[in-house]
Amino acid sequence: MKKKSTTFGLTPEKISNLLKVCAESCGNDVDMETKQKRTELLQDRLSETLLTESLKDSPLSKELTHLCRISGIAAGESIRNLLTNPGTDIELIEKIKEYGKNLSQGAKADVGHDIANAIYYAAIAHALIYHNIKITKFSYKELEKAMSFFAQTDWVSTDLLSLFENTAQYCQDRLNKKTKGGKENE
């Protein structure tokens, strides 16, 4: 009895190449799934309101609500709107930074950690771009690297993308001033 070939006449090299293509294709599906998870989770987190999500039952909740009213910002504003509004009070931006930091520390998966860091760095970016205030101890070099990273990701929304791009440039400008005799941590 003659044995039938199960490779349909393909050489071992062609079979190997075919398997590599299939493996790469499966890897791309996983990458797309992870990108989609990051995109969706970031959108969810940015649509939350700072006061209702991060400060529930906090004694600061009433004070921040009052601060929002004084500043002309609705207490129910989403984190996205607070981050992209140049008029957002710096104290609220610092609260968003802390919110991102706490999310990052509590994240159990890389996706959650990445999203939390995006919010954290977006708050730092807002403070630099709109208030010309550095609310972190990170150097401009470290900030430029982080902002450039987020500016190049494919899961960050366009409104935050421009904030990260502008902040990366801001940090680069500060670094250039430093090399011309200025101080880095102005």
In-domain check, residue 5: no
134 CB neighbour count, 10 Å cutoff:
17
pLDDT of residue 166: 97
In-domain check, residue 72: yes
115: confidence class by pLDDT, cuts 50, 70, 90: very high
Q: Structural domain tally of the chain?
A: 1
In-domain check, residue 173: yes
Average of per-residue pLDDT across 9-25: 61
Highest mean pLDDT among 95-99, 100-104, 125-129, 155-159: 125-129
Question: HEC profile for the chain?
Answer: CCCCCCCCCCCHHHHHHHHHHHHHHHHHHHHHHHHHHHHHHHHHHHHCEHHHHCCCCCCHHHHHHHHHHHHCCCCCCEHHHHHHCCCCCHHHHHHHHHHHHHHHHHCCCHHHHHHHHHHHHHHHHHHHHHHCCCCCCCCHHHHHHHHHHHHCCCCCCHHHHHHHHHHHHHHHHHHHHHHCCCCCCC
23: confidence class by pLDDT, cuts 50, 70, 90: low
pLDDT of residue 28: 47
In-domain check, residue 150: yes
pLDDT of residue 58: 56
Rg from Cα positions in the chain: 23
> Per-residue pLDDT for 86 more than 90?
yes
In-domain check, residue 96: yes
In-domain check, residue 113: yes
pTM over the 0.85 mark: no
In-domain check, residue 2: no
> Per-residue pLDDT for 42 more than 60?
yes
- Domain hosting 139: range is 40-179
In-domain check, residue 26: no
| C-alpha 48: how far from chain center | 15
**Tokens (6 digits) for 141:** 């070099």
pLDDT, the chain, mean: 80
What's the pLDDT tens digit per position in 121-179? 999 999 999 999 999 999 999 999 999 999 999 999 898 999 999 999 999 999 998 77
Q: Specify the higher pLDDT residue, 174 or 66.
A: 174
Burial 53-85 (b: 16+ CB within 10 A, else e): ebbeeeeebeebeebbeeeebebebbbbbbbbb
| C-alpha 8: how far from chain center | 49
